[in-house]
Structure 1
Amino acid sequence: MQNETRNLISFVAVALILLVAYQTFILGPRQKQIQAQQAAASAAAATQAPSALTPTHLTRAQGLAQGPRVIIDTPTLEGSIALTGAHFDDLFLKQYKTSAGKDGIPVEVLRPAGTEFAYFASLGWIGANLPGLPTDASVWTVSSGRVLTPTTPVTLTYAASPGLSFTRTIAVDDKYMFTVTDQVTNNGAAPVSLTPYGSVQRQDVPPWLGKNNIVHEGAVGVINGGLKEEKYGKWKKDGYKDLDTGTGWFGVTDKYWMTVLIPPNGEAIKPNTQVKANGGVDIYSASYTAAQPLTVAPGKSVSQVTHVFAGAKTVPMLNAYKKSLGVSHFDDAVDWGFMMPVTKPMFFALQFFYHQVGNVGIAILLLTLLIRVITFPLALPGYEMGVKMRKIQPALKEAQAKYKDDPQALQKETMALYAREKINPITGCLPSLLPIPIFYSLTKLFTVTILIWHAPFFGWIHDLSARDPTSVVNLFGLLPFTPANVPVIGSVLDGPLHIGAWPLAYGLVTWMSMSMTPTTGMDQTQAQVMKLMPVFFTFILAQYTVGLLIYWTFSGIFTIVQQYVLMRRYKSPNPIDNFIARLQGKAPAAG
């Protein structure tokens, strides 16, 4: 039984080590590189972005100047719509900046055709043997409205031949939802059959996207209530992929932002993903066509209402659109992961606390307390077994010394001791297992939710979604140099050796908690590994978001308090009382 317990503890420890080591040494450095590239690209956003047909690497200003435009100006958005192709291809988010503080510029969502990493959405019509339909190169005419605002829609027109005319009215709300109403009028003598289509196109993937294995970035949608996702790597590998026909929505998502098309409710679509090379550029397209064409009789008109969402994936807003527009599973655009039944309730609790206190850091502390309260009934028996195990350590040592040459007698004596003290070692393993789903869910939560992005805490923490910016190397800023700028070893000092104040606090709390856990019964190697665990995890978690470290630090404090109360209750010697005794010049308790 004792060996089984040790093996289970060892298995859990190794599993956690492998998990965090993979994140830190493989994903962590890559993520840091991605963030640096993203910051550089954001600063140069005005000079970058390919064309729908022929990528040409124009500057952003040149891309915008290729043709006439309609300005977009809302409380949350700024940019323009290209009249060439009627593309949604120029969009910035006013309320989100590229970096925390005053130096950030608005986040770019869409980029014009002809520029590097062009990214745009388009809607249109296709039909067999119908020349003159509007294409990516067609120039629409503004018939009313010059600036698109929540109170002033714009209307575009395009006259095709023979006998077809198109009218497109574009409205926008005060968030990120555009409503596009297309009307097709048949002025000819014969009926025509047209099929609506929509496409979100990204031309080459920026290097900072699609590399984080924790977060889905790529094609995303919900068809017939089922989530459809295609990461950029698989997207390119597949080349072309038809998805199930059905009702829903479809488009492209990044970590915090997305651009998706929402056909009329109840209209079945045939979605697909494809990648085509053009001029040395990989063109990623998440597209759909209507499952059934529309027939327009002579002298008649048909209308089609499509919604285009381009903006931040804030859960309350996605849920509001889900209710008001009937957008199925719209909040699933946030990558909750396979632990969604745990991650999603955690998010709503965090959001609730944030709305009450107005500070995400404090909301994290309240979430910590809530999780500890919920898991307390499950963890308490395990903690009690741990305290009892520590209490019987002197008796176990005596038995091990007495029966060191008689393993069977030692096993019998150990089982008798467990029976007298009502100890079940397996129960003590529960606290070791509980953190695993919590760790994954919180890592996912603090990675995917925009709620903590650039959210400040107190003191030096200005972005809870980033790692602790301080470093022990320069004494947390007291020495006048930046570790990353040190010649030769700067990347190491600012990489694996970057330890901030919060990681050190976490390491200290973890060491205190583990010092209250019995190690007798483990072999020497296992005991040494357990002693090194706080140091190891300090280095590992130092590369994680500081919001996660704040959670684990305060969770560790709760664990220490809980262990201390139980040890006092069972009159078991503990390091805290022993430390106080030493300060008072008294001998520490035995055990």
Structure 2
Amino acid sequence: MWNTLLINPILNILIGLYKLTGGNLGVAIISFTIVTKTLLIPATIPALKMAKKQRDIQPELEKIKKKFKYDNKKQAELQMELFRKHGINPASGCLTTIITYAIMIAIYRVISMFTMTDNLSSLNERIYLNSLKFASHEILNTKFLYLNDLTKPDPYLIITILAVVAQFIVTKMTMPYSKVSSKAVRQTPGQADDMIQAMQKQNLYVMPIMFFIFGLKLPAGVMLYILVSTVFQVGQTYYFSGWGGLKSWISKLKFGKKDI
């Protein structure tokens, strides 16, 4: 079922794009990623709007923390009431994340097929159209830019590092922009931040670290998908909700330039 619903369709699309781009697997992966992310925009917009709402109510959340900093139960009640009032669902956006990672796993499986088969013609039974099928003597071109083989890990980790930076940026963008939020949290001794902020702060470092670990083992083609997908997400997030939590860093950079 997994093969029928996801792996085989992605295999066929990638091979179609590969042949359409003159036998360039890297360009095929980039094109596939852009098309996929574009098709997911309708499902992504609600999550981006929800993230913007969370940032917009941050001042009210800080007031609640300050007023009831020794009453965790009251804080939780008022926070949930505030979420309901503004129609905020902390679990929103999970679907697009699941789809993105499901596609990543499928691409990994597809690229693995290219390396595990002695002859590309053995893949033909998975290919729907005769025009896309490989000839028995055909060789897959896995070179892209400085990489000799997209089916193997990037030896220089360039794509991996770029993916890590992009993931850090997009995670920071989804966090609230507030000059006093961190101070408000520190003023509450022995108390954890609210659930949403705690998850965001954890993801800010956990996800980039995970991507770096992935890059050590995963084929460069998979990391290329992750990089393009994340860069697309950065642009998408900026378009719909601005710089978000990254705004304070950008302001510091602009201020620093004036001093030079």
Q: What's the TM-score, normalizing by structure 2?
A: 0.73
Paired position in structure 2 for 1:501: 158
Paired position in structure 1 for 2:204: 531
Higher RCO, 1 vs 2 (CA within 8 Å, ≥6 residues apart): 2
- Would you say the 8 A contact 2:30–2:228 is kept in 1? yes
Q: Per-residue displacement from partner, 1:27-59 (whole Å, max 9, x unpaired)?
A: xxxxxxxxxxxxxxxxxxxxxxxxxxxxxxxxx
Q: What is the rounded CA distance, in whole Å, between the counterparts of 1:415 and 1:423 in structure 2?
A: 9
- Would you say the 8 A contact 1:343–1:441 is kept in 2? yes
Q: What is the rounded CA distance, in whole Å, between the counterparts of 2:99 and 2:68 in structure 1?
A: 35
- Would you say the 8 A contact 1:339–1:437 is kept in 2? no
Matched, 1:581 2:255: no
Name the aligned partner's letter for residue 374 of structure 1.
L
- Would you say the 8 A contact 1:385–1:423 is kept in 2? yes
Q: What is the rounded CA distance, in whole Å, between the counterparts of 1:398 and 1:428 in structure 2?
A: 26
Paired position in structure 2 for 1:469: 155
Q: What is the rounded CA distance, in whole Å, between the counterparts of 2:96 and 2:164 in structure 1?
A: 18
Paired position in structure 1 for 2:187: none
Aligned mate of 1:552, from 204, 221, 226: 226
Q: Cα offset for 1:357?
A: 1.3
Paired position in structure 1 for 2:5: 341
Q: Cα offset for 1:539?
A: 2.3
Runs (5+) with no aligned partner, structure 2: 121-138, 177-192
Matched, 1:364 2:38: no
Q: Per-residue displacement from partner, 1:448-507 (whole Å, max 9, x unpaired)?
A: 13679551111x21111111122xxxxxxxxxxxxxxxxxxxxxxxxxxxxx11111111
Task: Name the CA shift for 1:583/1:532 in 2 (closer, same or farther; >3 Å).
Answer: closer
Paired position in structure 2 for 1:403: 68
- Would you say the 8 A contact 1:465–1:547 is kept in 2? yes
- Would you say the 8 A contact 1:453–1:465 is kept in 2? no
Greater per-residue helix proportion: 2
Paired position in structure 1 for 2:42: 377
- Would you say the 8 A contact 1:453–1:463 is kept in 2? no
SS across alignment from 2:255: coil
Q: What is the rounded CA distance, in whole Å, between the counterparts of 2:43 and 2:200 in structure 1?
A: 26
Aligned mate of 2:82, from 417, 421, 446: 417
Q: What is the rounded CA distance, in whole Å, between the counterparts of 2:143 and 2:42 in structure 1?
A: 33
Q: Cα offset for 1:348?
A: 1.5
Q: Cα offset for 1:354?
A: 1.5
Aligned mate of 1:455, from 135, 142, 146: 142
Name the aligned partner's letter for residue 457 of structure 1.
F
Over aligned residues, Cα RMSD in angstroms? 2.7
Q: Per-residue displacement from partner, 1:102-139 (whole Å, max 9, x unpaired)?
A: xxxxxxxxxxxxxxxxxxxxxxxxxxxxxxxxxxxxxx
Task: For 1:37-186, list aligned pairs within 5 A.
Answer: none
- Would you say the 8 A contact 1:466–1:545 is kept in 2? yes
Paired position in structure 1 for 2:95: 430
Task: For 1:165-244, list aligned pairs within 5 A.
Answer: none
Q: Per-residue displacement from partner, 1:253-302 (whole Å, max 9, x unpaired)?
A: xxxxxxxxxxxxxxxxxxxxxxxxxxxxxxxxxxxxxxxxxxxxxxxxxx
Q: What is the rounded CA distance, in whole Å, between the counterparts of 1:559 and 1:524 in structure 2?
A: 20
Q: What is the rounded CA distance, in whole Å, between the counterparts of 1:387 and 1:525 in structure 2?
A: 17
Q: What is the rounded CA distance, in whole Å, between the counterparts of 1:393 and 1:537 in structure 2?
A: 29
**How many equivalent pairs are there?**
216
Q: Cα offset for 1:377?
A: 1.8
Task: Name the CA shift for 1:548/1:529 in 2 (closer, same or farther; >3 Å).
Answer: same
Name the aligned partner's letter for residue 521 of structure 1.
D
Q: What is the rounded CA distance, in whole Å, between the counterparts of 1:373 and 1:420 in structure 2?
A: 31
- Would you say the 8 A contact 1:454–1:464 is kept in 2? no
Q: Cα offset for 1:525?
A: 7.3
Q: What is the rounded CA distance, in whole Å, between the counterparts of 1:511 and 1:417 in structure 2?
A: 28
Name the aligned partner's letter for residue 513 of structure 1.
V
Task: Name the CA shift for 1:574/1:502 in 2 (closer, same or farther; >3 Å).
Answer: same
Q: Cα offset for 1:442?
A: 1.5
Runs (5+) with no aligned partner, structure 1: 1-336, 471-499, 587-591
Paired position in structure 2 for 1:389: 54
SS across alignment from 2:91: helix
Paired position in structure 2 for 1:157: none
SS across alignment from 1:416: helix
Structure ID, larger Rg: 1
SS across alignment from 2:65: helix
Q: What's the TM-score, normalizing by structure 1?
A: 0.34
Name the aligned partner's letter for residue 556 of structure 1.
T
Q: Cα offset for 1:372?
A: 0.5
Task: Name the CA shift for 1:376/1:424 in 2 (closer, same or farther; >3 Å).
Answer: same
Q: What is the rounded CA distance, in whole Å, between the counterparts of 2:45 and 2:3 in structure 1?
A: 24
Paired position in structure 2 for 1:322: none
Q: Cα offset for 1:523?
A: 8.6
Name the aligned partner's letter for residue 357 of structure 1.
T
Matched, 1:350 2:14: yes
Q: Per-residue displacement from partner, 1:141-184 (whole Å, max 9, x unpaired)?
A: xxxxxxxxxxxxxxxxxxxxxxxxxxxxxxxxxxxxxxxxxxxx
Task: Name the CA shift for 1:465/1:573 in 2 (closer, same or farther; >3 Å).
Answer: closer
Name the aligned partner's letter for residue 540 of structure 1.
F
SS across alignment from 2:217: coil
